[in-house]
Amino acid sequence: MLRSVYTFLLYLLTPFILFRLYWKGRRLKEYRCRIAERFSLTPMQPTDVWLHAVSLGEVVAATPLIEALLAKRWRVLITTMTPTGSQQVIARFGARVAHQYLPYDLPWALRRFFRAIDARLGIIMETELWPNLIEFATREKVPMILMNARISDKAFSSYKRTRFFFKPVLSKFKAILAQSELDAARFVKLGAAKRRVHAIGNMKFDLQIQSVSRIQVETFKIKWGSERPVFIVASTHDDEENQLLTRLKQLKSVIPNVLVIIAPRHPERFKAVYDLCCQLGLNTALRSEPESISNLIDVIVLDSLGELLSFYETSDYAFVGGSLVPVGGHNVLEPIAMQVPVFTGPFMMNSKAICAELLAAKAMQSFDNVDALYAAIIRLHRNPSQRIEQIKNANAVLALNKGTVARSMKVVVSLIKPAFQEL
């Protein structure tokens, strides 16, 4: 009954959803493209494993898992919801996987989707709980795994109020592989069967760095000055750049030749961040305009996707955004994997367990304001041994927590529907 009401309301909202796509497409044209995929109105091919990763962060987290699936010579379909996620899939995997946008949670679109892909297994990354999606997967006898599953404090409070609605959804998963014991306990409290919930670790610790493209970045490094200290500000949201740049003099007073690289989280904000830098009187270049990069610039705006790891590798200090504003923070393990000391703001709810472990091990630093952040960077700059110690501590935490993908693959192999023959 509840799902029927939900579906009815969703049908009523569909025109507004389409208008939202159009509106967002005014700033980022990719939202206006491939709309038919969101309603299962394009040709689709049968697959072995269908994996849903809603956006960029989930695709990055799922990358080592996807590589493990491909190593089995299985056909893999990846669905996303955002253009940034789509672009990451295409850039990272190309033709090795099939890719499309996930259909909206409408019964007729989902029926077409599942019958066309005929998947042997479905994997949903983190916490994408679409009631009709899970229902139709069950109807079509597709075993479902919720993988790298997590629930933030804020989300848990919301889910508790609607437990009666989500309990039937969670009950349909064959396995829920949680990032931590806390996450596992929360899924059980929301109605998931305890025997199907397992805390096996965070897949982000298994980040692969073999694919990092170094040649292009090394060329840029020569342009801006190989000896310059580099401070990368990654995955930033509105107001974070303003907080960091308006106080940049504090950092430059001690490290006058520091280069700042800013990588906004969302492509539609690239221009706004560039304009802000110029308004503040900073000599600013765009990554998309290599000719603008020289040893005279103060800031580079990284207006590209899929290159963050490469720029982390050439950096001396890293700030991970979404943490100076109450967004919840982004992936701190990427710069750690690239041997860069990591700093964040106070809002790290999205990676609470990871950050707690890193902070306890003195493997990263978190501060309530930019002044304290810059003071900490200055301390590390003046004391190289402390910088080395922080990196060493971070590497130890990273090594201790690896292996989640291997544990996840054991579950995948045990649940995937048998085929007449392996590809």
- 289 catalytic? Reply is no
Distance CA 41, CA 104 (A): 12
Please give the Cα distance from 372 to 213 (Å, whole number).
33
* Residue type at position 18: L
**Exposure of 43 by Cβ count < 10 A (0-12 exposed, 13-18 middle, 19+ buried)?**
exposed
Residue 61's identity, in one-letter code, is A
- Note the maximum CA span of the chain: 68
Query: Residue 322: which region, alpha, beta or left (left: phi > 0; alpha: psi -120 to 50)?
Result: left
Written as one letter, the residue type at 403 is: G
Which burial class, exposed, middle or buried, applies to 359 when counting CB atoms under 10 A from its CB (0-12, 13-18, 19+)? middle
Query: Is the distance from CB of 352 to CB of 150 less than 8 angstroms?
Result: no
E strand segments, 230-298? 230-236, 259-264, 284-286
Cα–Cα–Cα angle for 360, 363, 367, nearest 5°?
Answer: 80
How far is residue 189's CA from residue 170's CA, in Å, rounded to a whole number?
A: 11
Catalytic residue among 37, 58, 241, 334: 58
Active site residues: 58
